[in-house]
């Protein structure tokens, strides 16, 4: 009976993974996922070099390259990688809660909230590095708690290793490292009775200092590239500026998995009420939770918001999806508060309601998306693959759909990106070579030539100027999954 909760969790994970696996190929890949699937096609050395030209570190791509070697680089394989690490994250989270609070039933309850969370599932079935970074962050936190409880140097070493790998996967993990360090400072000050002598004699403090030194040493080989990427982002990036509704909007997404229109008064009222509820949960969590680990969970929830907001004063790096890394700690605070309510019948009723709401949240979200109506580049490429003949041309008007077409392209023609001027680094230039670019749409064309121009109404809706001697023959449109991605428009022209 001792392992009943574990068996229930594994059963739920198997069921949800089975159901989610059926969704992995339902939607077309988009720009970011195309970057994921194309970069590992290079040699290891060139792949790491090109990753350095982008804005993310290389560990995700290194693992993905090995994964593709075993399972191929299909869309299913790409997204299955994320799904696997999402499932592993839930398992680690279960043991993290169990070790922190010593309650298996609470661990199971919070783990279910996590695995059924709509926001989490969206990125669990997307081919990016988020679930890998989440897994590494949760594992490092687990070993941090183990190190403080078991006093073993091996746990400190494993903590350092998983932190370093997390930072090599996504830089937002650094915010979690600061939060862990902040918690350790509070922990050691309390243990020492706020005495310098007590601090200096604490063996755990020495081990933790060596752990952070090891993290720094492990990151040294990438430090130069990191600063180059940081400089690149400081010069220009696409993330919009923060406003007073940014954090409340993120809290709403973490809770529901959905966006909210802040131009509507009722939406603003909802966000204010949600923010007040979260503040209440924080105070209630601190008051009712007897374990010192509560300060770790609170730090891991709050500090990434604070640090991201401070950094965004100069150049915004605040993006909702990056806060998937704080989602488990957010759920811990809210879920633990529900678990500790004094009124027994009301607590049970509320827990049942929350479990049901969480269970149906993603299915309702998915149904509303009407995925079957939004084939995106997958269907656009099918049209091109069936119609484009050798000697014809395929030009693409936006780098934000160029790489997705490159992945799906099965025509005898190599698509070219129309880029008459310099491209921004965040548009995927790390994957581009000179042979991929055309600066003049009429260059090399003659009368009678057939040209297919592929473009998007999303990502700023840039429409390249079409030469006047091109006659429009046919236009096909394919709606992409989300509004900001717009429609993929394929236009067939004949040169006059």
Give residue-wise pLDDT tens across range 286-302: 999 999 999 999 999 99
Q: Which pLDDT value is given to residue 2?
A: 59
Judge whether 271 and 245 are in contact, CB under 8 Å.
Answer: yes
How many other β-carbons are positioned within 10 Å of the β-carbon of residue 443?
7
Q: Show me where the domains of the chain are located.
A: 4-25+74-369, 373-495
Q: Which pLDDT value is given to residue 172?
A: 97
Q: Which pLDDT value is given to residue 1?
A: 40
pTM (2 decimals)? 0.95
pLDDT in tens, 44-102: 999 999 999 999 999 999 999 999 999 999 999 999 999 999 999 999 999 999 999 99
The string over 300-325, giving b where at least 16 C-beta atoms fall within 10 Å of a residue's C-beta and e elsewhere, is bbbbbbebbeeebeeebbbbebbbbb
* pLDDT mean over 372-381: 97
State how far the Cα of 335 lies from the Cα of 105, in Å rounded to an integer.
12
CATH number of 373-495: 3.40.50
**Mean pLDDT, all residues of the chain:** 94
DSSP state of 422: P
State how far the Cα of 171 lies from the Cα of 8, in Å rounded to an integer.
34
Judge whether 121 and 78 are in contact, CB under 8 Å.
Answer: no
Q: What is the DSSP string of 133-155?
A: HHHHHHHHHHHHHHHHHH--HHH
Report the candidate in 403, 461, 373 with the shortest Cα–Cα distance to residue 127. Answer: 403
């Amino acid at each position: 009976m001792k392992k009943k909760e574990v068996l229930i969790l594994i059963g739920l994970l198997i069921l949800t993974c089975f159901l989610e696996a059926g969704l992995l190929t339902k939607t077309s890949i988009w720009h970011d996922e195309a970057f994921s699937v194309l970069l590992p096609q290079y040699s290891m050395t060139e792949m790491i070099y090109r990753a350095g030209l982008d804005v993310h570190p290389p560990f995700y791509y290194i693992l993905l390259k090995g994964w593709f070697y075993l399972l191929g680089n299909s869309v299913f394989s790409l997204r299955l990688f994320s799904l696997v690490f999402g499932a592993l994250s839930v398992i680690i989270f279960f043991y993290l809660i169990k070790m922190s609070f010593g309650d298996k039933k609470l661990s199971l309850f919070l783990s279910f909230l996590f695995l059924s969370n709509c926001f989490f599932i969206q990125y669990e079935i997307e081919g990016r590095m988020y679930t890998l970074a989440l897994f590494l962050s949760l594992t490092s936190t687990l070993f941090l708690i183990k190190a403080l409880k078991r006093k073993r140097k091996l746990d400190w070493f494993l903590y350092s290793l998983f932190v370093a790998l997390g930072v090599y996967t996504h830089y937002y993990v650094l915010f979690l490292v600061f939060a862990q360090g902040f918690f350790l400072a509070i922990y050691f000050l309390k243990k020492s009775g706020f005495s310098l002598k007590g601090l200096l004699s604490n063996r755990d403090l020495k081990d933790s200092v060596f752990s952070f030194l090891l993290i720094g040493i492990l990151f040294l080989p990438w430090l130069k590239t990191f600063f180059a990427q940081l400089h690149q982002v400081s010069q220009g990036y696409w993330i919009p500026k923060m406003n007073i509704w940014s954090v409340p909007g993120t809290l709403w997404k973490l809770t529901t998995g959905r966006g909210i229109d802040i131009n509507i008064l009722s939406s603003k009222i909802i966000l204010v009420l949600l923010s007040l509820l979260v503040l209440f949960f924080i105070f209630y969590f601190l008051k009712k939770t007897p374990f010192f680990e509560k300060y770790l969970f609170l730090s891991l929830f709050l500090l990434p918001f604070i640090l991201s907001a401070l950094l965004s004063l100069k150049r915004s790096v605040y993006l909702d999806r990056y806060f998937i890394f704080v989602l488990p700690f957010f759920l811990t605070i809210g879920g633990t508060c529900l678990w500790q309510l004094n009124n027994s019948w009301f607590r049970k009723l509320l827990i049942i309601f929350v479990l049901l709401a969480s269970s149906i949240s993603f299915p309702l979200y998915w149904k509303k998306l009407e995925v079957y109506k939004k084939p995106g580049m997958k269907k656009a490429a099918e049209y091109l693959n069936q119609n484009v003949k050798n000697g014809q041309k395929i030009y693409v008007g936006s780098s934000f759909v160029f790489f997705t077409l490159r992945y799906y392209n099965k025509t005898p023609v190599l698509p070219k990106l129309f880029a008459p001027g310099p491209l921004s680094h965040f548009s995927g230039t790390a994957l581009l070579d000179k042979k991929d670019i055309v600066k003049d749409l009429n260059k090399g064309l003659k009368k009678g030539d057939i040209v297919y121009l592929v473009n998007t109404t999303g990502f700023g809706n840039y429409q390249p100027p079409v030469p006047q001697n091109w006659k429009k023959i046919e236009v096909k449109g394919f709606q992409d999954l989300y509004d900001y991605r717009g429609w993929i428009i394929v236009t067939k022209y004949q040169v006059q």
